[in-house]
Amino acid sequence: MGSQQHLHKLLAAAGGPLAQLLHASHKQAALLTQVRERLPDDLAAALRSAALDRGCLRLSVAGGAWATRLRFLAPQLCRRLEDWPHGPVETIEVRVTVPAGAGTCVTQTAPAPLSSASRQHLEAVAQSAIDPRLAAALRSLARSAEGPADSADI
């Protein structure tokens, strides 16, 4: 149980090593809340973080559509933030962030096979190509993209 008391002292101590971090976290949360209060409700809900650095307000949102809308509203937001206690806002930068835990799983689908007409066209272009590397690549593509024999055109 001594370790639990020590952790409490570490977290609660005014001059402790985590005091500055805790203070910065509260300041960041207050800044985010104040920015959200000046935005429409749906846009405020999409806002993930806010940071102010030398007159530049950096905002991150949940998606591209929200970012576009926020960029459109940036001049109005600057005017709304003229009198706030954190200092003047001269510029607003908007970024899109991926929510924590959202993996970037990309599923690949097999390419559609080429028709015999497409393969013949690739062979014809390969025969007329001046560059031998291009001709070889086109022939390779025509051979590797075997498709159903009855598909006449794509």
pLDDT tens figures, 19-78: 777 778 888 888 899 899 989 999 999 999 999 888 899 999 988 999 999 999 999 988
CATH 3.30.300-classified regions of the chain:
2-96
Q: What is the mean pLDDT of the chain?
A: 80
Among 9-18, 62-71, 114-123, 140-149, whose mean pLDDT is lowest?
A: 9-18
17-31, 105-119, 128-142 — which one is most confidently predicted on average? 128-142
- When pLDDT is cut at 50, 70 and 90, the band that residue 154 belongs to is very low
Residue 153 has pLDDT above 50, yes or no: no
pLDDT of residue 131: 85
CATH pick for 2-96 out of 3.30.300, 3.40.190, 3.30.160, 3.40.50:
3.30.300
Note the helical H segments in the chain: 2-12, 19-37, 41-46, 64-80, 116-128, 132-144
Query: What is the rounded CA–CA span in Å between residue 7 and residue 11?
Result: 6
Residue 145 has pLDDT above 90, yes or no: no
- Model pTM score: 0.55
Residue 95 has pLDDT above 90, yes or no: yes
Q: Hey, is 150 helix, strand or coil?
A: coil
Residue 150 has pLDDT above 60, yes or no: no
Among 47-56, 103-112, 132-141, whose mean pLDDT is lowest?
A: 103-112
Q: Hey, is 14 helix, strand or coil?
A: coil
pLDDT of residue 73: 92
